[in-house]
Amino acid sequence: MLEEIKTNYAHIFEEELLEEINEVGIVKKVKSGDELIRIGQYLTAMPLLLDGVIKVMREDKEGFELLLYFLEKGETCAMTLSCCTATAVSEIRAVAEIDSTLVMIPIEKMEAWISKYKSWRNFVFDSYHNRLMEVLETIDNIAFKKMDQRLLKYLHNKAKFYENSEIKTTHQEIAYDLHTSRVVVSRLLKQLEKEKRIALQRNSIKLF
Amino acid sequence: MLEEIKTNYAHIFEEELLEEINEVGIVKKVKSGDELIRIGQYLTAMPLLLDGVIKVMREDKEGFELLLYFLEKGETCAMTLSCCTATAVSEIRAVAEIDSTLVMIPIEKMEAWISKYKSWRNFVFDSYHNRLMEVLETIDNIAFKKMDQRLLKYLHNKAKFYENSEIKTTHQEIAYDLHTSRVVVSRLLKQLEKEKRIALQRNSIKLF
DNA sequence: GCCCTACAGTAACAAAAGTTACGAATTTAG
DNA sequence: CTAAATTCGTAACTTTTGTTACTGTAGGGC
């Protein structure tokens, strides 16, 4: 069996289910920036994240983006789950934030396991719960907070994936994620720097 | 058996499940404005809406509100579901928009039925899906749209619950739901009236 | 070296939204 | 009927966010 399946899921799934995952799951390795799910796409498999980080976002017709949340190892995308069971098209876009490894589970299995394994059922419901909570937090951010607070929160959130809280990104990238303009991001970052909360370098932001 | 359970749920649940709902469910009648769920509350039962409309909203620490969506008859609150299964406290507030009737299902039953009835399982998953989609639409609105568009959409959404597309409400109420100020709502409504899209009267707005 | 591109800083301005203040109209309570 | 409260309109102003435009600078490829 794949070592990565065990280390990430052995504490929640029973041996038999782990075996099944190992059997039917198709391991997929993606590079940073690879697109995993497009909006409007029909989904036939559900991803379990073994390693890496996946960025999940919303897009409107004009192509504007908004970051919804990041998926980390041991998690799955409840949006995908939701679209699978309802045989609806995907409403989100998923892109690998860093190099990542996934196991793809065919829908039929996913549904069969819900009756068969209590641990799987719990996992599925927990995923729904966690994702709903994340989406609610996203709503809180855009509805109740101003751009400077959203920006700072975004940076702290993102810092977890980098060494030394040193985020490798560009102002334009941040602007896309928060759905604002590059100039606004630069302006607010400069302000945060003045307040000694961050340090700016080219292509990198250091958090204090 | 209660006639209302049958008319709303007979097409999706089998006879046996309907009987069980009738047996264990506690019917609850609420008046317009009654609070059904508070933020931070532990939930021990899940509501099936038989009649009426329930307003589901988010609140931040300072007491600011934001409308998430309306529940109509034949629907359930996936947020509550989610909090039930995860034994977490509620993250939302629910208030009766108009006089409504609900059946409260104890959590134990809700979980048992997931293994027992395929139709129930589908209902639960569909509810999750629908709620996720609604929340995504809410995100679209606040992230991608300006206040005037949000306002118009809100009015059209709300008009469904009223005769003649004549909405009985105050500007202040709208402001709470959209998390903005009364003055902004008045200003934009006046503008919409000039554009002949609505007509304003005291305590009421008529849509064209 | 040089050219090109991506990235960041900044100014000046525009638009959207939020705030304060006040008055008028209407409804409600006593 | 009168006083108080609610609702709405509007003006004047501030803050926040978005837009356009132009600069300099760093780094890669030749």
Per-residue burial over B89-100, b = 16 or more CB atoms within 10 Å of its CB, e = otherwise? ebbbbbbbbeeb
pLDDT (tens digit per residue) in B159-173: 998 888 899 999 999
Residue closest to B71 by CA, chosen among B93, B96, B45: B96
Q: In what order do the strands lie in the sheet with A26-30?
A: A26-30, A100-106, A45-51
Which among A79, A115, A142 has the least Cβ separation from residue B143? Answer: A142
**Nucleotides on chain D within 7 angstroms of protein Cβ:** 6-12, 16-21, 26-27
User: Which residues of chain A have a CB within 8 Å of the CB of B129?
Assistant: 82-83, 85-86, 88
Place B115 in a pLDDT band, splitting at 50, 70 and 90.
Answer: confident
State mean pLDDT over B38-67. 94
Residue B2 confidence (pLDDT): 78
A146-207 maps to CATH 3.10.20.30: no
Pick from A57, A66, A89, A132 the residue to mutate for testing the B interface (most B CBs within 10 Å).
A132
* Strand D CB shell (< 7 Å): A 146-148, 179-181, 183-184, 188, 202; B 170-172, 182-183, 186-187, 189-190, 200, 202-204
For residue A177, pLDDT over 90 is answered with yes
Nearest residue (Cα to C1') for D9? B186
B85, two tokens: 């299964």
DSSP 3-state percent helix, strand, coil across chain B (nearest 5): 50, 25, 25
Contact A126, A119 (CB under 8 A): no
User: Which residues of chain B have a CB within 8 Å of the CB of A92?
Assistant: 136
CB within 8 Å of chain B, chain A residues 18-77: 58, 60, 64, 66, 68
Count helices and strands in chain B by DSSP H and E runs: 8, 10
| Eight-class DSSP state of A176 | H
B62, two tokens: 């300072």
Amino acid letter, residue A99: D
Interchain contact A188–B (C-beta under 8 A): no
pLDDT (tens digit per residue) in B92-109: 999 999 999 999 999 999
Residue A135 confidence (pLDDT): 95
Contact A34, B112 (CB under 8 A): no
Whose C1' is closest to the CA of A203: which nucleotide?
C7
Residue A114 in 3-state DSSP?
helix
For residue A1, pLDDT over 90 is answered with no
Pick from A58, A59, A144 the residue to mutate for testing the B interface (most B CBs within 10 Å).
A144
Given an 8 Å threshold on Cβ–Cβ distance, is B132 in contact with A136? no
Spans of all domains in chain A: 2-143, 146-207
pLDDT (tens digit per residue) in A84-100: 788 889 999 999 999 99
Contact B37, B92 (CB under 8 A): yes
Question: Which residues make Cβ contacts (< 8 Å) with residue A153, sequence separation at least 6?
Answer: A141, A145
DSSP 3-state percent helix, strand, coil across chain A (nearest 5): 50, 25, 25
Fold of A2-143: Jelly Rolls (2.60.120)
Residue B1 confidence (pLDDT): 57
Place B87 in a pLDDT band, splitting at 50, 70 and 90.
Answer: confident
Cβ neighbour number for residue B184 with a 10 Å cutoff: 16
Q: Is the entire prediction scored with pTM above 0.85?
A: yes
- Bridge partners (DSSP) listed for residue A199: A206
For residue A29, pLDDT over 90 is answered with yes
The Cα–Cα gap between A75 and A73 comes to 5
B187, two tokens: 């200003």
Percentage of the residues of chain A whose pLDDT score is greater than 90: 86
